Copies of this chain bind each other. A is one copy, B any other.
Amino acid sequence: MPSHDTPLPPGRHALALHGGAGTIARSSAEAEAPYHAALRAALAAGDAVLSSGGTALQAVVAAVVALEDCPLFNAGHGAVFTADETHELDAGVMDGRTLAAGALAGVTTLRNPILGALEVLRDGHCVLMGGAAAERWCAARGVASVEPGYFSTAQRRAQLHAARARDRDRAVLDHTGASTKMGTVGAVALDRHGHIAAATSTGGMTNKRPGRIGDTPLVGAGVYAHDAGCAVSTTGTGEHFIRGCVAHDVHARMVYAGLPLADAAHRAITESLAPLGGSGGLVAIDRQGRIAMPYNSDGMYRAWLREGESARSAVFDDAI
């Protein structure tokens, strides 16, 4: 049993995050080093919140902001391009203490979509808002905007062009066979007050059809948190996560089938996602600070820490 699958003493905090899962080619330690550094920087951002007595909700947002700001990951700055060579960003956040949730779909100008999702949660009027009306509402509430070009990077544009070249040879897009890793970032946390939360943010799929909304902003698919069970953030082939309600499925397997977190998370991937042809993974945490990070793709960028233990990060099965 990995060390992160045991209960923590009460009052300690814990945090796990991911920077996407998918087809990731093994490369040199030097090439992977920037990813580990970025994951650990995001971990540190969330840990700073938790260590000072902040809430799990605040911590997952802080960690996701750090991941959105990093161009290595497909969310915020560094988001992938749609087929129209634009960016459409989705984000969602949920508080396991109150089951309050906020999410945005298809926004194009919010610097940190997760901060817009948090504003939706705090306002409490809606859970999910989409498109230009959602952006206008967020901007009026003071959520920072940028020009769409802010999100663009040369690497992502090259990926789009490569995806288009591939697609010219195909009758149907095959996301799961894309050679680029899938996007999405996310975090789950347990705070010292004993509450959990989850947050997820993404630029979607390279070359995605404009108007497509993936699993990321959908409560129960890409993000879910309930103190009675677990907090979950997913990443992978979004449509399969929607159809399998994968985030809520982990929770349901815990509270209805009585499974421990690790089993519930593993079975959500192998029994609810994989049979649909889905590929990807998730990070999950429960109120005892147990952490599960199953995936059925080649790898998943991830990092985690539990108060009193060393921080860890991993891309494949071997953590550093």
Contacts of A128 in B (CB 8 A): 212-214, 218, 242
Name the CB-closest residue of B to A254: B256
Distance between Cα atoms of A320 and B56 in the complex (Å): 51
CB of A248 within 8 Å of the partner chain: yes
Q: Which of A128, A133, A173, A244 is most buried by chain B, counting CB atoms within 10 A of its CB?
A: A128
A82 (CB) vs chain B CBs: closest residue: B133
In the complex with contacts A172-B125, A219-B221, A131-B242 CB distance below 8 A: no
- Please pick, from B129, B243, B249, the residue contacting A213 in the complex, using a CB distance under 8 A: B129
Q: Are B99 and A239 in contact (CB under 8 A)?
A: no
Q: Is the CB–CB distance between B101 and A243 below 8 Å? A: yes
**How many Å from the CB of A240 to the closest CB on chain B?**
9
Complex-state Cα separation, A238 to B103, whole angstroms: 14
Q: How far is the CA of A253 from the CA of B256 in the complex (A)?
A: 6
Q: Smallest Cβ distance from A82 to chain B, in angstroms?
A: 9
A293 within 8 A of B: no
Task: Note all chain B residues with C-beta closer than 8 A to A218.
Answer: 128, 218-220
Size class of the contact patch on chain A: 35 or more
Fill in one digit per residue for A216-253: 1 if any B CB lies within 8 Å of its CB, else 0: 00111100100000000000001100111100110011
Min CB distance A176 to B, Å, is: 12
* In the complex with contacts A245-B245, A245-B248, A248-B245, A126-B257 CB distance below 8 A: no
List residues of A (173-201) whose CB comes within 8 Å of B's CBs. 173
Per-residue contact bits, chain A 6-35, to B (CB 8 Å; 1 contact, 0 not): 000000000000000000000000000000
Residues 257 to 308 of chain A near chain B (Cβ within 8 Å): 257, 276
Q: Which residues of B contact A224 (CB under 8 A)?
A: 245
For A173, list chain B residues within 8 Å (CB): 125
Q: Which residues of B contact A101 (CB under 8 A)?
A: 242-243
By beta carbon, the residue of chain B nearest A138 is: B211
Given A248-B220, A252-B252 in contact, is the A242-B127 Cβ separation under 8 Å? yes
- Bound Cα distance A212, B137 (Å): 11
A206 CB to closest chain B CB, in angstroms?
14
Q: Which residues of chain A from 71 to 116 have a CB within 8 Å of any chain B CB?
A: 94, 99-101, 105-106
Q: By the criterion CB–CB under 8 Å, are A244 and B99 in contact?
A: yes
* B239-A126 in contact (CB<8A): yes
- Nearest CB of chain B from residue A12's CB, rounded to whole Å: 28
Some 11 contacts from A to B, beta carbons below 8 A apart, are: A101-B243, A105-B105, A126-B209, A126-B212, A129-B212, A132-B211, A218-B218, A218-B220, A248-B249, A252-B253, A252-B256
Given contacts A133-B211, A245-B248, list 10 more A-B pairs with CB under 8 A: A99-B243, A101-B242, A126-B211, A127-B243, A130-B213, A131-B211, A218-B220, A224-B245, A245-B245, A252-B252
